[in-house]
Structure 1
Amino acid sequence: MIDYGRVQKELVDCEKNKDASGVRVNPKSDNLTRLTGTIPGPIGTPYEGGTFQIDITIPEDYPFEPPKMQFSTKVWHPNISSQSGAICLDILKDQWSPALTLKTALVSIQALLSAPEPKDPQDAVVAEQYIKNYQVFVSTARYWTETFAKNSSLAEKCWIDLSQVRKLVEMGFGEAQVRSAIESSGGDENVALEKLCSG
């Protein structure tokens, strides 16, 4: 059975310190089983300046079972799925302890943004890029931060599908042009292609 008193206390603790830490947790529903966590991108990383939202589901056995967390803001990182937002982090799995809190979990996720573990990836494509071409990884991560974590209205409307970008680039269009066309067409590949062809 969920310890709602504890969840409520954790929300109050987060609220007290939100300005200093930048970490926030807000309820999505009245029953406190669905929450939204917010973390700022760490300074000195490609995520700097972004605000990242994380969906939190409190399981039945909380705090003896870890909260289920996944990014709702798209992020380019070896340990976070670029497709689903799933997070590969030990404290959200077998290293969870009832002594940990929602805030410590969010701070750990923020630390993960600073120190990726490409040898234990959630997203193999991103991990490979991180290892083989670090500068391209940094540019892509920064671009995703600009696109999805700084401009929330655009982020909600348009999750750029990299396979769409690749397909249109292979047709001979420039990548920046392609990304712009996909964004301005709300992610619709056919509309983006029409825009590119009409110049």
Structure 2
Amino acid sequence: MLDKSRVQRELMDCNRDKEISGVSISLHDGADLTHLCGTIAGPVGTPYEGGTFLIDIQLLSDYPFEPPKMQFVTRVWHPNISSQNGAICLDILKDQWSPALTLKTALLSLQALLSAPAPDDPQDAVVAQQASLHPFLPFLSFHLSLYIRDYRKFAGTARHWTETFAKTATLGIDEKVHKLVEMGFPQDLARTVLETVNGDENAALEKLCSG
């Protein structure tokens, strides 16, 4: 059975310093502790800077003895994250998970993954081809120029995706919340639902009306 008291403590701990850590967690549907929504701020100095990335989090009944199931909701261009479905290639979400780890630890690890892609262990082969470093680059100037050209393409694409998908979640979020509040929905619920649908006002309204 899911240890709900532990999950509640983890949520409180994660959100206590979210302005400093850049990660936070909210309830996905306002009530169920088995389905959560994580938020990651794009790391400074990376193509993801300025973006807000939403993570779908599902906890199995034997958590924390089994890792949380995490998946990017926000589309992201990264060699270790599927550009199609948001699946993540990260060892602590698989065989390197430990009950001593927490949801905050996992989100911080994802944030670190955005800072330091590992193209040699890709989830998305197309992205990895742009981000990978040729093993003979120190000796071959031709390949070095090729890598620089490819890396610039990778970084440019990642930055474009951040602008397109990761900044719409926070763009005008207060105005969208205000509109939903005027329609009669609670402010906290409106904000939470907007976050879970990546800032899509129409999807949020549909979800609020159906729930």
The structure showing larger relative contact order (alpha-carbon pairs under 8 Å, at least 6 residues apart) is 2
Within 5 A, what are the aligned runs for 1:3-22? 3-22=3-22
User: What is the Cα deviation at residue 28 of structure 1?
Assistant: 1.3
The residue that corresponds to 1:126 in the other structure is: 127
- Render the CA deviation track for 1:50-77: whole Å, top value 9, x for unaligned: 0000000011110000000000000000
Q: TM-score, normalised by structure 1?
A: 0.75
Aligned equivalent of 1:144? 161
Asked if the contact 2:2–2:62 (Cα under 8 Å) also holds between the matched residues in 1, the reply is: yes
**TM-score calculated relative to the size of structure 2:** 0.71
The residue number in structure 1 matching 2:74 is 73
For residue 152 of structure 1, report the CA deviation from its aligned partner.
2.5
Count the aligned residue pairs. 154
Per-residue CA deviation, residues 136-188 of structure 1 (Å, 9 max, x unaligned), is 0000000000000011389xxxxxxxxxxxxxxxxxxxxxxxxxxxxxxxxxx
Q: CA deviation at 1:31?
A: 2.4
1:33 paired residue number: 34
Q: Which runs of 5+ in 2 are unaligned?
A: 133-146, 172-211
2:152 to 122, 130, 135: 135
CA contact under 8 A between 2:52 and 2:170: conserved in structure 1? no
Q: 1:6 to 1:153 in 2, by over 3 A?
A: closer
The letter of the residue matching 2:160 is: Y
- Provide the rounded CA distance (Å) in 2 between the counterparts of 1:11 and 1:113: 22
Runs (4+) of structure 1 exceeding 3 A deviation are none
RMSD: 1.2
Q: Name the SS for the 1:152 alignment partner.
A: coil
Structure 1 residue 97, shift from structure 2 partner: 0.3
Which range moved further: 114-123 or 11-20? 11-20
- Specify the code of the residue in structure 2 equivalent to 1:128: Q
CA distance in 1, matches of 2:28, 2:169: 18
